[in-house]
Every structure is written in structure tokens, then in C-alpha cells.
Structure 1
Amino acid sequence: MSETLDAIENRPPSIAVDFVARVRDTPDAVAYLFPRPLPDGGEEWASLTWAQTAERVDAIAAGLVALGVAPTDRVAIMCQTRIDWILVDLGIVCAGAATTTVYPSTNADEAAFILDDSGSTVVVAEDAAQVAKLRAERERLGAVRKVVVIDPEGSREAPEDAGDAGDTEGDDDWVVTLADLEAAGTALLGKEPDVVERRIAGIESDQLATIIYTSGTTGRPKGVRILHDSWSYQAAAQATMAFSDGNDLQYLWLPLSHCYGKVMISGQLRIGFPTAVDGRIPKIVENLPIVRPTFMAAAPRVFEKVYNTVVTRVKAEGGAKYAIFTWAVGVGRRHVRARAAGHRPGLLLDLQYKLADKLVFAKLRELFGGRMKGCISGSAALSDDVAEFFEAIGVPVFQGYGLTEATAGNSVNRYGENRLGTVGRPLPGTEIRIADDGEVLVRGPAVMAGYHNNPDATAEVLDDDGWLHTGDIGELDAHGSLRITDRKKDLIKTSGGKYVAPSDVEGRFKGMCPYVSNVIVHGNNRNFCSALITLDADAIRGWADTSGLAGLEYADLVAHPKVQALLDGYVADLNAGLQRWQTIKKYAILPRDLSVEHGELTPSLKVKRVVVEREYAALLDAMYKGTLVET
């Protein structure tokens, strides 16, 4: 334990130091894998060694210096997750500047607010569509001196609010390419070979490293100020928890504009494992068997999607195959529960589990590439049933907990200590306690310095003793593992005075119904609980193909009486295990799934409950006026 704390307490002032050390120690090892387009329209996976990565990072860092970027100046990135995002971010770090992250899906108005509020002086944009948003709001971007475009030949489809997209060429030199920036950096390095080294040496641990804007559901988002020391702490803490010995391969698709994604690249610098980078969510299933990673971080929706797809596909095939699958999963769950209770499974159960693994589980692991040692789940709660399923098939999902305001990582389950239903023990060096009203409080090096330009909001969540008031309700078990029960502001109090934790009910339903995509339990100040439900399009179409409804569009399917009857059964099963005041008395199936594009999900796939309830307010009101059939 003392060695662990020593490693954390003696961490370097920034991850730039970790990066330099990694390049020095393993220059020829593979650092990153990434998809690269081929002339025939296909793709191949290319790679960069640590030495090759350093060559590009140094050129980007020096290029920023050549543009006049000073230490702590903000440089924004508007780009989806791709290798260039990581290279640019490392370049910003090594230049001693601070990264402002902007989701590429952010509209022009909000992007302009973020860039103006952060005082960003340079913006690195992915393609012409992102540049178009900047051109449309240029009058509001007084501090932005230069726009650097990564892929000037990329997407030409600008968002509707971007105005005239045109191309990356303007009537001035406001826009340059990333290649131009790197060329300028290389030229400066020829004159001042130690310019980047000097910038790294000048970084102080309490210096601003990143501003990440939270996804606001009302009003403008708040900019979370994260110091260099917080990222360095995350790297050191990850290295002490034995998630990787350097021989692993990470698959990274998470949005790097989100703290959860960004924290997954900090530990890599300290530990040294390679990372395969591709932020295109539809490519995940296709890429996993090709890349064959050993671990991956994801949001619960990804695991739920895999679970639903597997269950519905096998169920549709029916017969002996479905019977064997059902038997195997039952055996796997009993095996997991026995181990979780601290019991030896017994000879018969062990033999059954080995047979189940051979017949079913090994084939399921091939969906992940066959080498997956485990996955990390964060951003929202994962259903206990879904988590148990993955544990049973030999792909354990380690739930973790954190906020943007605490650099994403505060607690996590570990290999050999995966306590299902919890988000694990605190990271070494982080303190977690429960307030008298049940709120989770966090203190330690990961906690933010405050909200940018917003001292009043900072004072609301950071107290004088350094405790971050998270807004989450939770409890610590006898082993020190944290269990999150709900958001403080999301707790429902019915008009009868009963409290309901919606995420608990929602999680149970997701574990029971393989056709559900999202569910929002509603009922604050109402006389009973209701729910808005969306279905997984692939899963429900698979069911439809074997239920006489093949060929129907999603909107027609969810309105069909047979689908209503199907859901009635699952809701009845859910209610059977709930207290009376928790039960779902009425529900409605929405005509489409929730999406990032419609503003109902954050880019990390977390439901914006307030947005959904506002959008479907009339439908919710109708359920309380008795215009929909009660279940």
C-alpha cells in the first residue's frame, strides 16, 4: 500500500513528462492503431510507434508555439474521436497550453459560446463542416486567431445552422491545415531544437490543462477547469491498479471531448499499452473481431445493445440452440452468484460451467475478438442482470464512477474484485464519504479547480474543506465499495409522499426486457409512476421476423398491438418485484429511439431526462388524464 501511495504522491507535474518517459523507454513499441482509407474506398489499420508519435506531437507543439500560443492559452479541439485528436491534444499539453474540448455535434451557437467563454485562441477543427460553424459565428470569436483544419478534404455536409459551408478556403489566412501547422513546427524545431522540451519543463502541476464543458440540459454548459496535476494523478492511479501490464491492447471509441474518454488516454502514457482508436460507434461491432483488444471502456448502452442482440438473435433461432443457450446462461449466473457469495461453486456446477463455456460462452467472446479480459463501464448505471450476464460469459464488466468535475475516475471495480451492483472502491489517493442526506462527496487530486468564469456555481458544489458535492445518492458497503442509488435531483417523490429511485427501476427493466433501448421513469409530484420506453430497433425487428410482423418499419412496429402485448408482459414482470408505489401503472412506447442528434442523449449516451420529459410532456400528461390504457 505504501508503494502505491508513494507512486501517486511522487507523480510528475504533468502527463507530458509521462509521455516523454514513455517515448524514451519504448520508442519502437506500437503506441496507436487507427483506420486509414485506401484508394479503392476501403480501409486498413495503420500504426504509430511511440517514436513516430513523438515526432508528430513535437511538430504540433512547436507549430502552436510558432502561432504564438503561450502557456495556459486555450486551444480548442472540435473533432470526433480519431488518432489526430490524440496527437493534437498531446501537442497542446507539450506546448504548455490548455485544451478546450468541443463535441463535433455541438451546434454553431453553443460552439461559439464555449470558444468565447473559454477564451480559446486557436481552434483545431476536424473538417469543412466544423470550419463552417466557425465561419458562421466568426464575429463572436474575437479571441480566435487561427483555425487549424485536420482534414480539409473531409465532410462537406455542414450542420443546418452552420450557414454557407463553402470550403476551408477563405478570403484570408484565418484557416490553415494541420499539415501546415506541423510544417511550421518542424521549421521552428530546426532553429530551436529544445523549444518543446523547454515548454514541458515549465509546466507547473497547478497549471490549467483542460476545460471541459458539461452537457447542459437547461441554460449554457459550465466549463470544468482541470489542472495538469489531475491528469497526472489519474495516470499514476491507473498504473497502480493492475488493469494492464503493458501487454494489453485498448479499443477506444469514447468521445474524447468527454472526460471519460480523455481519462482513458492518460494511463496509457504511464503504462505503455497500445490503443486502437476509432470513434465511429456503428463500426464497434465490426472492428472488435479485427482489432482483437484485451480491454475497452464503454457506456452501459453498448453492453445493453450487445446483450439484447445476443438474446434476441438466439431466441429467434429457437429450438435446441435456444434451449442450450438458456441452460448455459443459467449455469453461468449460478456460478457467478456462488463466487460472489464467497462459496466454492462445487464440482457439478464447475463441470457444468466448463461445458457451458465450451458450447456457448467461448463463441460469445469471439464477438469481442476472443481476447477480451474485461471492460470498464461508466457514465451511467449498468443493469445488474446485464453485468451478471457478461461476468458469466467471461467478459467481466468493471463498473466505475466519476464526474467531469472529478476528472472522470473516482472509484472502480478491479480484476479479482468485481463486486456487481457497485462502482468499486475509491482510486488510491481519492476519498469518498456519504453525507447525512445520502449524497456522495469526493475529495482528492482528481477534483476540479472550479467552473470557468463561474464562481457562484463553483461555490455550490465545492465546499471549504475541498469536498465535491456530486449530486449523486449512494452508500458504501462493508468492503468500502460504493453503490450509487440515484441522482439527488432525479429522485421522484410521488404525490403520496413516497420516494422512488428511477434509475433503479429503469435498470431492472433493462435487465429483464431484451427489446428495450431506453426507459425513463416519471412520476414526481404525480399520484403514480409512468414510463417512456424506446425499443432497440435491431432487437424488435428480429422478434418481428418470427412473430408475423416482418417488414414493418420501426414506427409501425412500436404501435402494433402485438408489440404492446409483448411489453405489457415485461412491465407486469417488472412490477411483480417492486413495491406498490414503485410500480409502472402506465407507459408509452415512443415512435423513435432517443438520440444525440435530437439532443436527448449526451455524446457519451447518457439520457438527458429533463429534455426527454419536456419533449414528451403532452404524452406524459395524457397518461395522468386517463387517455391511455392502464397496465
Structure 2
Amino acid sequence: MKSNPNITRVFDLLPNCVLKVNKEDTFANKVNGAWRKYSATEVIETVNKVSVGLLKLGIKKDDKIALISNNRPEWNFVELGVQQIGAVLVPMYPTITIEDYRYIFTDAEVKLIFVSDRALLDKVLEATSVLEGIEGIYTFDNFKGAKHWTEITKLAEGEDFAQIEPFKAAVQPDDLLTLIYTSGTTGKPKGVMLTHDNIISNIDGLVIGKHLELNENDKALSFLPLCHIYERTDVYVYMYYGVSVYYAESMDTIADNIKDVKPQVFATVPRLLEKVYDKIVAKGYELTGIKKQLFFWALNLGLQYDPMKNMGWWYDTQLKIARKLIFSKWKEALGGNIKIIASGSAALQARLSRVFWAAEIPIAEGYGLTETSPVVSSSILADFRVGCVGTVLPNIQVKIAEDGEICVKGPSVMKGYYKKPEATAEAIDADGWFHTGDIGEFSEGRFLKITDRKKEIFKTSGGKYVAPQVIENKLKESVLIEQAIVVGEGQKFPSALVVPEFNALKEWCTRHGIDCADSMQMIKNEKVREKLDDEVKSLMKNIAQYEQVKKIELLPKLFTIDSGELTPTLKLKRKIIHNNYKDLIEGMYN
């Protein structure tokens, strides 16, 4: 099942898609306040220079090259240049620890390292100070005392690019393309081995299944880390369709960059959509009089919306008014051109899906893992179901095991874990089924629904199983709750550690004459605690009795990557959080 028979390796996208469309802004990023655009011919020439330069440095097929950087065109130039000579890219998060860098450099036997800036260079120098075999470290930013990446491209000046062709020809579809070390919520990172065929088959599935219908007139904004296969495969899909890729300056500038670029598409995670929603609602609370009434009337209308159902004449009439008066401003804030927002990496709250669709901002949920390159299922806008992660790609098989675990088979399933045959055998059974560790079910026989993580489900002392993610998502429906973790293994009932949404809480405190100088002061206030207790009780009304959160403790600060309580993909590291707040958790049961 091929969307284009000429594309069997990822770098085949360059001549068959990128050059054919031949745009002036294949890639772009902000440099000194202006967008620096790279044309298709400039991209291909730069990639070829990287390939030749690496060959001049003695890099061979299957050598490992590490890349640690924010999203920028140089990321693509290096990784595609590496691909063309059959070497293997090892991308890493800029946010992981020095110890993790050292472990991955050693495990992958990395030869060259590319980093973006001085801070990352300092981390890498410390990580490699006791290592042998590192032949060079190059930076994307230009500063004194560091080797700039253009030292490699300069080695290709005056060279004939035809010398790359035999190396490209030697790369086979089942050759290793990349090693991606999964952060995991416990233990050492594992290197996921993905081949060219793994990635190309995933692109084929998305294209043939019409999960992302884009064209060469479209622009994408990219801000999720390229070191994660989710954003990386998305960028390959953009290249397939001839979509221009604009890289956001940072996570803090996304809103400004969206207004500037006016993209038709971007990929995100639910956490960021939650923050966007919470900011919008917080601004609604700041309104007064009729404007405030109209805002919350429109919001409540949106929360009832289902894009695939006939909502009736009266509802449609009201929605038309709400879209003109209120939701048009939401669209404008996202650039006004959005065709589709792809949401993945975690479950999206159904209320967010409903309200954004009501605002004519379609969010397509998807599901996948690093080990599946990554997409297993994805929404199709013309056949969408709220609360589901779409339909399975046409070239993938999915079955639900007896215990509810989702198992996947197909050409996009990884080759295995690098140097870990036992872990590979544990993940992929003798019949070729990859066991995801996620619990799910099919709705209407074809729409996949994720209910929880197999290893995160816990049992109360009454013998009842509790799926924490479902309840955590329910808790986060409150505009006053930003994060939550449900606990209760072996206890009489579930409890939760709750991080309030402090901007909304501060506004509530101000309205009720409560001193809100800092977060600690707020969470210690008895009226605040009563308010959050009432919020939780209200949210638990439609949850089964044995799953209901009976007690909560408020925390003054967010779980973060830096604190070690979130993975780089913003998943809760439950064991670490349990350990960090052991006394507080035990206190809820004493």
C-alpha cells in the first residue's frame, strides 16, 4: 500500500515532493525579528553539503549522530544529510539530564553531536567529559570557542554532489533511520529502532486514509519538539504535501507566531489546548455586564456541540450568532486560517473537542507511540467522533486483548529496542503484535477509544479497579484545576493531589475578597479549600461511586519536566510524584 512508489526512504521526499512543489518557503524560522525562508533548492543544496561534509569527516553507514536542539531548519538540514549517507540520527530532548545524555551517548555509541546553543553545549561537554569515541561537537548558534555546523558544509564547497548517489542507493527501506530514546516514566531510556520503511508506511497510512488532507498552498507552524517522532513524522507529512513549515521561536511565542504565520495546520498536545482554553475562560471572567453574559452563553452552547449530529434548528440558529459574536475572535487568535489542529500524546477532554469544533476550529485527535512511528489511529474530519482517537490507519491492524490492552501489528511497528532483545520480546509477541500498554475499546466497531494505561490502573482495598486518567481528565474540566493526579492503591477510596489554575483562582479570590498574594496563601485559605472541594464533588457526580475522589490536597506549584515529575511529552511520572508527596498522600488516609 504505497501513496507514491518513488518514496521508499525518507530522503526521497526531497526530489519527489519538496523539489516538485519548489516553494520559496519550504522551511522558515525567525532570525533577528524577521522570517528567514529557505527555498526548496536551497534546502536540497544544504542537505547535500551536510552529506558530503560528513563523508569528508569519515562518517560511515550506520554511524550514530546525536542532535539536541530546538526546532529550526538546521535540524532538518542535518538529519536529512545524515540520512542520505546511511548514518543514524539520535535526537534528544534539550530538557533531559546530563546523566541521561551520558547514558544515551554511550549506549548508542555516538560519534558526532550537534547542539543548538551555548547552554546545551555546556551540558553536553559535561556529559562527554568522561567518554571516549566522540569525534566532534558542533553548534547551530555561532559563538566563540565552539565549532559551528557550517564547518561541515564548507568541506563540501567545490565538490560534486554526484558522489552522494552511491551512498543513497545503498540505503535500503528496512535500514535503521533513527534511534529514539523513550523517556519513560520509570527506569533507563530505551532506544526505539525505527527504519525508513516504518516512517514511510506511517506517512502512506495517513495519506491513503485521508487523515490529513493538505496542499501546497498551506502553511504549518511547528513547535512540538522534533526529537519526538510525533512532530517529526508530521513534518515529513507536510513535506509530502508541499506544506511550508514555519518553526515557532519558542513555546512562549506560539500565540504571536500563529498570528504572524496564519497557519492552516499545527500539531499540539492536550495540555497546550487546555491552557489556551483556560486563558480564554479567564478573560471571559474579566468581562462585565452583557458582554460577560454573552461570552458564557456562547461557551455553554459550545460545550454541547457535536459536529456529526443534527443539533436542531434552534441550536444551529444560536450557534450561528455565537460564532459571529464570540467564537470569531477565537478563530482570529489562531490566525483565521486553521483547517485542522492535530492533537496527540494524551487524551483530549471531550469538552475541549466540542467547544473548539463549535468555534469552527476542528481538532483531530490521534493515537500512537514512538514504537509505532507513531500514528496508530487518527480522526478524519468528515467522520469524527467526540472522545475517540479516530479510526485505525488502513495499513495497520489493531486488536483489543482479553485484558483490554491495545495491540498493534503492521509495517510501522518498530524493529525493536536497541541492544535490548529481552525488552523487545516482551513488547512484541511471537505473532508480531506490539503490546502498547494502553487500555482501549472500539466505539461503533471502528472508532478507537483510549481509557487508560495498563500499568497505571490501581486496585482499592475493596478490590475495585480504578483508571486514574479518566478521573484526572474529569477533574481538569474545572477552570480552577490545572493538574491532578489520582492516588489510592490499596486504600478505601481514591484521593487526588490537585494543582489549581492559579490565574483563575486568583480572579475568584479577588471577587470574594480573599487575600491572594501568592499561591501558598491561596491554597491554605479555608474558603478556597471549600471551593475546590465543592468543584471536585460536582465533577464526581457521574463517576461510579468506587471511583469517586473523596479527598484532595492542594499543591502550590505545577508538576514540571525540570522537577522530574513530568516526562518530556508532559506525562505524569507517577512513582516520582508519589514519592515526592508521600506524607501528603498518607495524610489523606490517616
TM-score by length of 2: 0.96
1: CA distance between counterparts of 2:512 and 2:40? 54
Which structure 2 residues correspond to residues 424-463 of structure 1 after superposition, within 5 A?
A: 424-463=390-429
Mapped pair 1:557 → 2:553: no
Which structure 2 residues correspond to residues 401-550 of structure 1 after superposition, within 5 A?
A: 401-511=367-477, 513-549=478-514
Q: Which residue of 2 aligns with 1:298?
A: 268
Indicate the larger mover: 278-287 or 288-297: 278-287
AA in 1 matched with 2:318:
Q
Q: Which residue of 2 aligns with 1:182?
A: 153
User: Aligned to 1:84, which of 74, 77, 82?
Assistant: 74
Q: Which residue of 2 aligns with 1:50?
A: 40
AA in 1 matched with 2:272:
V
Identity, % of aligned pairs?
32
Deviations 1:100-156 (A, max 9, x none): 011111222210110110111111111222222232233543222111111143xxx
2: CA distance between counterparts of 1:88 and 1:545? 52
Report the alpha carbon displacement of residue 322 of structure 1 after superposing the two structures with TM: 2.0
Contact 1:255 1:261 in 2 (8 A): yes
Contact 1:22 1:50 in 2 (8 A): no
Q: Which residue of 2 aligns with 1:213?
A: 181
Mapped pair 1:223 → 2:191: yes
Report the alpha carbon displacement of residue 30 of structure 1 after superposing the two structures with TM: 1.9
CA 1:6/1:98 → structure 2, altered by over 3 Å: closer, same or farther?
closer
Report the alpha carbon displacement of residue 20 of structure 1 after superposing the two structures with TM: 2.1
1: CA distance between counterparts of 2:480 and 2:470? 18
Size of the aligned set, in residue pairs, is: 588
Indicate the larger mover: 597-606 or 545-554: 545-554
Q: Which residue of 1 aligns with 2:13?
A: 18
Deviations 1:472-510 (A, max 9, x none): 000112241110100001112101001111111111121
Report the alpha carbon displacement of residue 330 of structure 1 after superposing the two structures with TM: 3.0
Which structure 2 residues correspond to residues 125-524 of structure 1 after superposition, within 5 A?
A: 125-153=115-143, 169=145, 176-184=147-155, 186-187=156-157, 190-240=158-208, 241=210, 242-278=212-248, 280-334=250-304, 336-337=305-306, 339-340=307-308, 342=309, 344-511=310-477, 513-524=478-489
Partner of 2:474, secondary structure, is helix
Structure 1 residues not aligned, in runs of 5+: 38-42, 154-167, 170-174, 626-631
1: CA distance between counterparts of 2:445 and 2:337? 30
Mapped pair 1:7 → 2:3: yes
AA in 2 matched with 1:132:
D
2: CA distance between counterparts of 1:83 and 1:552? 43
Deviations 1:567-587 (A, max 9, x none): 112101012221111111111
Indicate the larger mover: 501-510 or 239-248: 239-248
Deviations 1:230-253 (A, max 9, x none): 121222223331431232211110
2: CA distance between counterparts of 1:294 and 1:547? 42
Q: Which residue of 2 aligns with 1:157?
A: none
Deviations 1:558-617 (A, max 9, x none): 332232122112101012221111111111111201111111112222222222112111
Q: Which residue of 2 aligns with 1:159?
A: none
Contact 1:471 1:489 in 2 (8 A): yes
Deviations 1:265-304 (A, max 9, x none): 1112211101111261111122211111111111110111
CA 1:6/1:191 → structure 2, altered by over 3 Å: closer, same or farther?
closer
AA in 1 matched with 2:287:
E
Structure 2 residues not aligned, in runs of 5+: none
2: CA distance between counterparts of 1:467 and 1:11? 29
1: CA distance between counterparts of 2:81 and 2:520? 47
Contact 2:202 2:374 in 1 (8 A): no
Deviations 1:428-478 (A, max 9, x none): 201111011110001111111000111111111101221100000001122
AA in 1 matched with 2:505:
I
1: CA distance between counterparts of 2:589 and 2:289? 43
Mapped pair 1:114 → 2:101: no
Q: Which residue of 2 aligns with 1:601?
A: 566
Indicate the larger mover: 555-564 or 255-264: 555-564
Partner of 1:552, secondary structure, is coil
2: CA distance between counterparts of 1:365 and 1:62? 45
* Root mean square deviation of aligned Cα: 1.8
2: CA distance between counterparts of 1:277 and 1:29? 15
CA 1:582/1:224 → structure 2, altered by over 3 Å: closer, same or farther?
same
1: CA distance between counterparts of 2:54 and 2:523? 52
1: CA distance between counterparts of 2:323 and 2:169? 52
Report the alpha carbon displacement of residue 254 of structure 1 after superposing the two structures with TM: 0.4
Q: Which residue of 2 aligns with 1:34?
A: 29
CA 1:330/1:551 → structure 2, altered by over 3 Å: closer, same or farther?
closer
CA 1:424/1:23 → structure 2, altered by over 3 Å: closer, same or farther?
closer
Contact 1:490 1:502 in 2 (8 A): yes
